Amino acid sequence: MPAMPSVEKPEIWTVSQLTRRVKALLETQVSYVWVSGEISNWRVSPAGHAYFTLKDKDSQVDVVMFRGRLMKLQFGPDTGLEVIVHGLVTVYEKRGNYQIVCEEMHPKGVGALQLAFEKLKQKLQDEGLFDEEHKKPLPLLPRRIGVVTSPTGAAIRDILNVIERRFASVHVILYPARVQGEEAAEEIVEGIRVLDEWGVDVMIVGRGGGSLEDLWPFNEELVVRAVYAAATPIISAVGHEIDFTLTDFAADVRAPTPSAAAEIVVQEREALLERIATLTRRMGAATARQVEQGRARLAMARSSFVFRRPEELVRQRRQLVDELRMRLENTLVDMAGSARRRLDTAVRSLALLSPAVQIRAAFERLGALRQRVRQVGAAVVERQRARLRPVIAQLNALSPLAVLARGYALAWKQPGGELVRDAADLAPDDRIRLKFGRGGATAAIETVEEDPDG
Instruction: Identify whether 51 is part of a domain.
Output: yes
Instruction: Identify whether 123 is part of a domain.
Output: no
Question: Same domain for 36 and 75?
Answer: yes
Instruction: Identify whether 281 is part of a domain.
Output: no
Question: For residue 51, which amino acid is it?
Answer: Y
Instruction: Identify whether 305 is part of a domain.
Output: no
Q: Looking at residue 440, what is its pLDDT?
A: 83
**Residue from 194, 219, 195, 283 nearest 75 by CA:** 219
Question: Same domain for 60 and 169?
Answer: no
Whether the pLDDT of residue 311 is over 70: the answer is: no
Global pTM?
A: 0.44
Q: Looking at residue 452, what is its pLDDT?
A: 66
Whether the pLDDT of residue 304 is over 70: the answer is: no
Question: For residue 73, which amino acid is it?
Answer: L
Task: Between 315 and 335, name the one with better pLDDT.
Answer: 335
Question: Which of 244, 267, 290 is at the close of a domain?
Answer: 267
**Residue from 32, 89, 82, 46 nearest 64 by CA:** 89
Confidence of residue 230 (pLDDT cuts 50, 70, 90): very high
Question: Same domain for 68 and 157?
Answer: no
Q: Looking at residue 87, what is its pLDDT?
A: 92
Q: Is the separation of the CB atoms in 258 and 203 below 8 Å?
A: no
In the chain, the percentage of residues whose pLDDT exceeds 70 is: 88
Question: Same domain for 143 and 258?
Answer: yes
User: Domain count of the chain?
Assistant: 3
Q: Is the separation of the CB atoms in 66 and 83 below 8 Å?
A: no
What average pLDDT does range 96-103 have in this prediction? 92
Q: Looking at residue 59, what is its pLDDT?
A: 92
pLDDT digits (tens, 9 = 90+) for 44-57: 999 999 999 999 98
33 to each of 330, 331, 368, how far by Cα in Å? 116, 112, 124
Task: Between 272 and 92, name the one with better pLDDT.
Answer: 92
Q: Is the separation of the CB atoms in 203 and 195 below 8 Å?
A: yes
Question: Which of 267, 282, 307 is at the close of a domain?
Answer: 267
What average pLDDT does range 29-51 have in this prediction? 91
- Burial degree of 246 (CB within 10 A; 0-12, 13-18, 19+): buried
298 to each of 291, 292, 294, 305, 308, how far by Cα in Å? 11, 10, 6, 13, 14
Instruction: Identify whether 412 is part of a domain.
Output: yes
Question: Same domain for 32 and 99?
Answer: yes
Instruction: Supply the range of the domain harboring residue 416.
Output: 405-444
What average pLDDT does range 133-159 have in this prediction? 89
Instruction: Identify whether 84 is part of a domain.
Output: yes
Confidence of residue 197 (pLDDT cuts 50, 70, 90): very high
Task: Between 390 and 273, name the one with better pLDDT.
Answer: 390
HSE (side-chain half, CA atoms, 13 Å) at 83: 27
- In angstroms, the CA 31 to CA 17 distance is 20
Q: Which helix (H) or strand (E) holds 44?
A: strand 32-44
Question: Same domain for 232 and 145?
Answer: yes
Confidence of residue 326 (pLDDT cuts 50, 70, 90): confident
- In angstroms, the CA 31 to CA 401 distance is 129
Least confident of 15-19, 112-116, 303-307, 315-319: 303-307
**Residue from 222, 218, 223, 224 nearest 239 by CA:** 218
What average pLDDT does range 29-45 have in this prediction? 91
137 to each of 170, 187, 218, 253, 281, how far by Cα in Å? 19, 26, 22, 9, 28
Whether the pLDDT of residue 62 is over 90: the answer is: yes
What average pLDDT does range 69-85 have in this prediction? 85
Instruction: Identify whether 313 is part of a domain.
Output: no
Question: Same domain for 158 and 60?
Answer: no
Instruction: Identify whether 46 is part of a domain.
Output: yes
Question: Could you give phi then psi for residue 404, rounded to 5 degrees?
Answer: -65, -35
- In angstroms, the CA 193 to CA 230 distance is 7
Say whether 305 sits in a helix, a strand or coil: helix
pLDDT digits (tens, 9 = 90+) for 337-385: 888 888 888 887 777 677 777 788 788 888 888 888 888 888 888 888 8
Task: Between 228 and 319, name the one with better pLDDT.
Answer: 228
Question: Same domain for 95 and 174?
Answer: no
User: What is the separation of C-alpha 265 from the centre of its chain, rounded to a whole number of angstroms?
Assistant: 39
Least confident of 110-124, 239-253, 375-389, 425-439: 110-124
> For position 224, which CATH number holds?
3.40.50.2300
196 to each of 163, 199, 234, 284, 421, how far by Cα in Å? 20, 5, 10, 41, 120
Question: Same domain for 68 and 153?
Answer: no
Q: In what order do the strands lie in the sheet with 410-413?
A: 418-419, 410-413, 431-435, 440-444
Question: Which of 241, 267, 293 is at the close of a domain?
Answer: 267
Question: Same domain for 160 and 246?
Answer: yes
Question: Same domain for 90 and 165?
Answer: no
Question: Same domain for 180 and 258?
Answer: yes
Whether the pLDDT of residue 310 is over 90: the answer is: no
What average pLDDT does range 9-17 have in this prediction? 85
What average pLDDT does range 407-419 have in this prediction? 81
Q: Looking at residue 99, what is its pLDDT?
A: 94
Whether the pLDDT of residue 285 is over 70: the answer is: yes
What's the mean pLDDT when you consider all of the chain?
A: 84
Q: Which residues contact 31 (CB under 8 A, 6 or more apart)?
A: 88, 89
> For position 99, which CATH number holds?
2.40.50.140
Is the preceding omega at residue 415 within 30 degrees of 0, hence cis? yes
Long-range contacts of 421-430 (CB under 8 A, 24+ apart): 422/454, 423/448, 423/449, 423/450, 423/451, 424/448, 424/450, 424/454
Say whether 242 sits in a helix, a strand or coil: coil
Q: Is the separation of the CB atoms in 40 and 21 below 8 Å?
A: no
- Indicate the length of the chain as a whole number: 454
Q: Is the separation of the CB atoms in 413 and 429 below 8 Å?
A: no
Confidence of residue 307 (pLDDT cuts 50, 70, 90): low
